[in-house]
Structure 1
Amino acid sequence: MASIPWTMVALAWAAGLCMPLGGVIAQLERSHESHVKRSWLAGITALGGGILLAAVSLVLVPHAMQALSIAALLGLFLLGALIFMQLDRWLARGGGAKGQLLAMLMDFIPEAIALGALASASPAAAMLLALFIAVQNLPEGFNAYRELEGAGLTARQGLGAFVLLSLLGPLAALAGHLWLADAPGVLGGLMAFAAGGILYLVFQDIAPQSRVAHHWSPPLGASLGFMIGMLGDRLVG
């Protein structure tokens, strides 16, 4: 265990804790319902969607393309989309709307694994990737908390679940460091699968929630989110 970079584990958990932090902000935000507030909340949803699209196009897919053959890349990408389509249908039958939560976890876990895999080879890149993940998790945590709140969870249940989910970050980073640092094909396959699922969820669940009639600022949130992703990718790269 002495070879484990504990700074990397702490960074992965800190990035994960931005999920409950986003939930805390959503819990504290209790202003009067209005068209301006709906537009603002739609913009936050769009911001998370833009960041997720950036993660797919700038982080997950490029790494997968480097590590996989075209057949494996397309097959795993499609598999991710199909599996999360079925999962989304199952949740819809139960009355749940948890697309943002699923997309957030599908983004967070493979990137945390990549963080662990990078820790020894490039500590600076791992640190910047942790910052990128944290920036992603904050608006995504905000949106996912509001989804869970709408599904009937109490504040304690929602925030408690997010704190537990944040522990997946250090666990995924440890797995990436210990087992996948020398297995780029497995890591690339995981990223292709996650990218397919995220892209499905963005267009099925997240993008429709970001639209407000007669208001054109929320789509700017998606552009801003993608800009954040580009900045993070340039810093990591």
Structure 2
Amino acid sequence: MPEWIYILLLTLLAGAAIPLGGLLATVDSIRPNWLDEELRHSITAFGGGALLSAIALVLVPEGIESFSVITSAFLFLAGGLLFMWVDIWLYRHNTSGGQLVAMVSDFIPESIALGASLALGKGSSLLLASLIAMQNLPEGFNAFRELRESSHFSNRKILWLFAILALTGPAAGLIAYYWLSSYDSVISGIMLVAAGGILYAVFQDIAPQVRLDKHWAPPLGAVLGFVLGLIGYMLLH
């Protein structure tokens, strides 16, 4: 199979989790309120665990290969500051698409890293695609709920929007494969910036939503999400 087709399939698989998460959000309301609430918190926590595993097992280990400790720390911090700026901008403009912007802003650099990792002959492309899919599912779920509650869009329109956004991943992956793969330092920098931004997003947008009084399953979702990423890493290495 040509590598560009493999990249296309991996990024499409990862991106398909976005509308799938939105589709899941359309049916969760049929459950009792207490289960709906616990399910939502558990899915949010699972996404946080998957994001942390992507940071710890792929983005940071591969990102630091091209840089010194100081440069790596600077790029990681720059990613956190960049996402903080986006978060502040969204708050000041009172937009209803905060979760949506956050989802796209980490999906695109991760897809770039996926395409580049395959072009550079690294064995982490399948693992990274799996982690991206794991985080896109709960992010699609949360972004759908946010848009449905704060906008006039119908469920069908939101799902179509998510399907279109899912195509940004294949585009970014192919761009990285054909044009960025010869610039190792650029790809490593993107990985570190993305890692810093994602970590900021976890503690700013996800972690505060995990805790639910008198329920202990949601925090366990974060542990399960990280364990799943760890298993995938160990199986491939």
Assess same fold via TM > 0.5. yes
Structure 2 CA distance for aligned equivalents of residues 58 and 106 of structure 1? 20
What's the counterpart of residue 19 of structure 2? 20
Higher alpha-carbon deviation: 112-121 or 59-68:
112-121
In structure 2, relative to structure 1, the CA distance for the partners of 1:218 and 1:99 (3 Å cut) is farther
- How many Å apart are 1:127 and its aligned residue? 3.8
Give the structure 1 partner of residue 148 of structure 2: 149
Deviation larger for 110-119 or 42-51: 110-119
Report matched runs for 1:1-237 at 5 Å. 5-96=4-95, 100-120=99-119, 122=121, 125-152=124-151, 153-237=153-237
The alignment yields a C-alpha RMSD, in angstroms, of 2.3
Q: Distance in 2 between matches of 1:80 and 1:235?
A: 29
Please give the alpha-carbon distance, in whole angstroms, between the structure 2 residues aligned to 1:77 and 1:129: 18
Q: Deviations over 1:58-109 (max 9, x none)?
A: 1111111112222221112111111211211121233346554444334422
1:18–1:141 contact (8 Å) kept in structure 2: yes
What are structure 1's unaligned runs of at least 5 residues? none
* Conserved? CA contact 1:116–1:176, under 8 Å: yes
Distance in 2, Cα, partners of 1:164 & 1:96: 20
Cα shift at 1:10:
2.5
1:208: how far off? 0.8
SS of the equivalent of 1:82 reads helix
Distance 2:72 2:101 in 1: 21
Distance in 1 between the 2:99 and 2:180 partners? 27
TM-score by length of 2: 0.88
2:90–2:98 Cα contact (<8 Å) kept: no
Deviation at 1:16, TM superposition (A): 0.6
Deviations 1:27-86, CA, capped at 9 Å, x for gaps:
122225522321121011100111111111111111111122222211121111112112
In 1, Cα distance between equivalents of 2:42 and 2:135:
14
Query: 1:158 is aligned with what amino acid?
Result: I
The one-letter amino acid of 1:55's match is A
Alignment gaps of 5+ in structure 2: none
TM-score (norm 1): 0.88
- Measure the CA separation in 2 of the matches of 1:98 and 1:233: 32
8 A contact 2:53–2:131 mirrored in 1: no
2: distance between equivalents of 1:86 and 1:119? 31
**Aligned 8 A contact 1:81 1:200 in 2:** yes
Inter-partner Cα distance in structure 1 for 2:119 and 2:183: 14
Distance 2:201 2:119 in 1: 33
Give yes or no for contact 1:78–1:196 (8 Å, CA) kept in 2. Answer: yes
